[in-house]
Every structure is written in structure tokens, then in C-alpha cells.
Amino acid sequence: MATDYYKTLGVEKNATEQEIKKAYRKLAHKYHPDKKDGDETKFKEVNEAYQVLSDPQKRKQFDQFGPGFEQAGFGGQGGFSSQGFSFEDLFQQGGFSFNGSSGGAFEDVFDMFGGGSRRQSGRRTRRGSDIQVQATITLQEAHEGVTKTIKVRKSVTCTTCGGDGAEPGAGMQKCPTCDGNGYIQRQVRTMLGVFAQKEECSTCHGRGEVPKKKCHTCHGSGVTEKTEEVEIRIPAGISTGQTIEIPGKGEAAPHGGVAGNMYVTVEVEKDSDYDRRGDDIYQTLRIPFSTLILGGKVPVATLHGEVMLSVPKQTQSGEVFRLRGKGVNRLHNRGVGDMYVTLQIETPQKLSRKQKQLIKQMAEEGL
């Protein structure tokens, strides 16, 4: 029976990438062979479904042709559908050869797993799933750059067998199912003739070889689950919502292959003293009424350290001063933003009798 990858993951056909990833991680955790009640067969099915639906090109191909070629418009009462597809397109792809005779054959294969991963031998390089995590940093850390260590629970290469799935010392042998080819070829008859289809061998998962004895730690999958500490270098000038890619730090690929990537989405905490707008920062500074009237210098704390701001005489409350180059460092050393300081009158909480008299006298004089 043909496999419906959407049903395997339990998602709708219009599911988003995040919904597909969430469903995959839940099921992979549930059926992982290392768990007491795990199911290796279902674990493989879930991984296979995710490998297709997580890749936009493969998913598009799957949506177009369905689980089997009998659903791709090659058979049935309606005949061949040319909507969005033609024999000319097919031949240009180099996927088939057709001899034109009654009962002729399509000799080559159309790889259901997508052209980008095919090799001449029919094998493909497996790739582990990507991981997305979040890192929260302060505004000062965003300005200066920082190194964070994040703990992640994920699939890693089995340290007992080194990822090949074989018990140490047991070695590997040619896969008896595919005879070492890594794929199985089957003939499919349609109203247009017979064509051959190559499918990845479900026994060796495209490797062409299997362990003589499965590893006792990973049960032959080549991966185990582990909490790993990953060091992340966050560059200066980063903003909330920006993502850092760390190649090879995603999930390890079962049965050999390349690990996926890790994507770290950064969130910069709100700062109680500053309001960040792009690479500029804004601050409201309360100073005595006397300084606004008579002028003077006031200390201003910036991300670069404390500086002295010269306040001219008779400065109005609410006036904004620009401190060039005192904002946030820009990404990739492309300069520095500015800082804008708004001065406001600081109303004193306690006044002496003399001070009250002076203020009353000023008010009487219209000041």
C-alpha cells in the first residue's frame, strides 16, 4: 500500500513547516528505538515522511504525483493528465527513455525522494533534522556580542558504534535485500507501458550494507538521544528575531549521513533604562530645574560607559540631545548608532522652607 506522508505525521495537507516539524519531533520521540516502548519500524516511517515533507522541492513533487505513480496521472479511467506536466518535460529531465513500441518500457527511474539527492548508484545522502532554539540576551550583550551555552536534547551519533549501527568488532555485510545496491527496483505496468521505479532499500536505508550484529546501544540506528551543550557565538549588533545558523549541530542522521543544522533565534530583553530603535537608543533623563536654567554638566550612562553632557543655559524641559556614536554597534562592524537623550525637570520630593519661599517669589515674578 502506498504511503501518505501527511497521514504518517498526522497533519493536514496544508500544514505549515512549523506544524510538520512539531508533529515529527513528537512522533520521533514517541517511537525512538531507545525508548522502552519504542517502535523502530514506525520511527523509520516517521523519519522518511519528514525527510520528504520538510523539503519544499520534495514536498511539491509528492503533492503533484502522490504516494505512487499510479496516482500521478499515468493510469486510471481519465488517462494521462497534461496539466502542469508533459512528456517533453519528462524527457528533458533525463528521467526516462521510451522505445515507442506497444508494451515498451521506461528504463530509468523517477526518484520519489527528489532529484537533488540522487546519485548514479541510486543512493542518497541522509541528512538529520534541523533544530530551532531561542537565546535570550541583554541589550548590553547585543551591543557587545556574547557567547552563550545552550543545552539541547537531541539525537547524536552513537558513541558505541560511531554511527554505523554495528556492534563494535562485528563489522558490516552486504545488504541481503538490495544485494548491496542501496535501492530496490520494481516494474510498474500502466496503460502507457511498463516503467521501472527505484526505491530506497528499507533494510539498509540506501547504504547497501547492514551490521552483522546490531549495536546494543542504538539498536542499529546509529544515533542515540542525549542532552548536549552547544556554544553559540552571538555577534555584536544583533536584534530580536534575527537567526544564527550553526551547521552540523542539528539532529544526527540515523543510519549514517550528515547532521542537520541548528538555528538560533535571538531575543533581546527590554531594557529599563533605554529604548532601542534599530541601532539607535533613546533615554529620558531627569535633571534639576536649576541645571536647565543655569546650565551645567550632567553624567549620562551609555552602553559605552559614562559621558558628561553639557546642558546650555535656559534649556527647555523636553529638549532632545544627540550623542553621536553612543548607540548600538551595527552588525558586521558597519558602524555605531546614536543615542538620543531627552531632558526633563526632576521635581524634588522635599523642599526646605527657604526653597519654598524662593520658588514662591519666582512664581510671583512670573518665572
**Is residue 30 in a domain?**
no
Confidence at residue 364, expressed as pLDDT on a 0 to 100 scale: 73
**Is residue 189 in a domain?**
no
Confidence at residue 85, expressed as pLDDT on a 0 to 100 scale: 39
Residue where one domain finishes, among candidates 269, 299, 316: 269
Grid cell 543545552 — which residue? 151
Residues 246 and 325 in one domain: no
**Is residue 92 in a domain?**
no
Residues 282 and 351 in one domain: yes
Residues 255 and 329 in one domain: no
Residues 264 and 360 in one domain: no
| 321 within 8 A of 295, measured Cβ to Cβ | no
| pLDDT in single tens digits along all 367 residues of the chain | 457 889 999 999 899 988 998 898 888 888 877 677 778 888 888 888 888 888 888 888 888 776 653 334 433 333 333 334 333 333 333 333 333 333 333 333 333 333 333 343 444 567 889 999 999 999 999 999 999 999 999 999 999 998 889 999 999 999 999 999 888 888 777 766 777 788 888 888 888 899 999 999 999 999 999 999 999 999 999 999 999 999 999 999 988 788 999 999 999 999 999 999 999 999 999 998 889 989 999 999 999 999 999 999 999 999 999 999 999 999 988 999 999 999 998 877 787 888 777 777 777 766 5
Residue where one domain finishes, among candidates 224, 253, 269: 269
Instruction: Give the bridge partners for 200, in sequence order.
Output: 183
**Is residue 16 in a domain?**
no
Residues 235 and 262 in one domain: yes
DSSP code of residue 47: H
Residues 223 and 346 in one domain: no
Q: At how many degrees (to 10) do helices 40-53 and 56-65 cross?
A: 100
**Is residue 287 in a domain?**
yes
What total number of domains does the chain contain? Answer: 2
DSSP code of residue 25: H
Residues 254 and 166 in one domain: yes
**Is residue 249 in a domain?**
yes
Half-sphere exposure of 299 (CA within 13 A, CB side): 4
Q: In whole angstroms, what is the distance from residue 107 CA to residue 250 CA? A: 38
Residues 167 and 247 in one domain: yes
Confidence at residue 75, expressed as pLDDT on a 0 to 100 scale: 36
Residue where one domain finishes, among candidates 229, 246, 269: 269
Q: In whole angstroms, what is the distance from residue 47 CA to residue 23 CA? A: 11
- What CATH code is carried by the domain that includes residue 163? 2.60.260.20
Residues 255 and 152 in one domain: yes
Which candidate, 17, 84, 7, 25, places its Cα nearest to that of 55? Answer: 17
CA 245 from chain center: how many Å?
7
**Domain range enclosing 344:** 275-364
Confidence at residue 235, expressed as pLDDT on a 0 to 100 scale: 95
Residues 249 and 142 in one domain: yes
**Is residue 303 in a domain?**
yes
Q: In whole angstroms, what is the distance from residue 191 CA to residue 203 CA? A: 31
Residues 355 and 328 in one domain: yes
Q: Containing H/E element for 61?
A: helix 56-65
**Is residue 28 in a domain?**
no
- Interacting residues of 133 by C-beta distance below 8 A, sequence separation 6+: 150, 152, 262, 263, 264, 265
Residues 255 and 282 in one domain: no
Confidence at residue 48, expressed as pLDDT on a 0 to 100 scale: 85
Which candidate, 47, 44, 41, 60, places its Cα nearest to that of 21? Answer: 47
Residues 105-154 have pLDDT tens digits of: 333 333 333 333 334 344 456 788 999 999 999 999 999 999 999 999 99
